[in-house]
Amino acid sequence: MHEAIRLSLEKSLQGEGGPFGAVIVRDGKIISRGWNQVLKNNDPTCHAEMVAIRKACHKLKDYSLAGCSIYVNCEPCPMCLSALYWAGIDKIYFAAGRKDAADLGFVDDFLYQELLRQPDDRKIPIKQAMRTEALAVFKQWAKLDDKIIY
């Protein structure tokens, strides 16, 4: 956790992005480090956790981070939390909470609340279209012998 907090301070003061840092650990060893690079890369998905996930998967040559834990200086936003689930991370440790981030103006807590709403009640309209065509692709993929479900 010390390293995640150190990264959050150092890199945010360098102007790379918000004050967020992440460290992925396996067997007591740091596999990857990440820090918020939203401003540096003009990419709203370059959160500390996302950067750390990408680096760890690249290093391990695996899309699964089973057996790993992540330490983040702030509770993951919904995007990062979802990515951590997709990555199969074993445990998440965080320091500050999403309401602490909201106090600084970040939308993490708002997004958690927004996800609880029904699609028609969300701030951004969301509509379903061309389901039949999409399902046809799913059916073809389901027939593949070498498919990998992740």
* Predicted confidence (pLDDT) per residue in 62-92, tens digit: 999 999 999 999 999 999 999 999 999 999 9
Provide mean pLDDT across the span 132-148.
96
The reply to whether 16 belongs to the active site is no
Determine what percent of the chain is predicted with pLDDT higher than 70: 100
Task: Report whether pLDDT(149) > 90.
Answer: no
- In sequence order, which residues have a C-beta less than 8 Å from that of residue 37 and are 6 or more positions away? 11, 16, 17, 43, 46, 51
- Residue 150: what pLDDT? 84
- Residue 23: what pLDDT? 98
- Name the amino acid, one letter, at 104: L
21-26/29-35 β-pairing:
antiparallel
Q: pTM of the prediction?
A: 0.91
Catalytic residue among 10, 49, 114, 133: 49
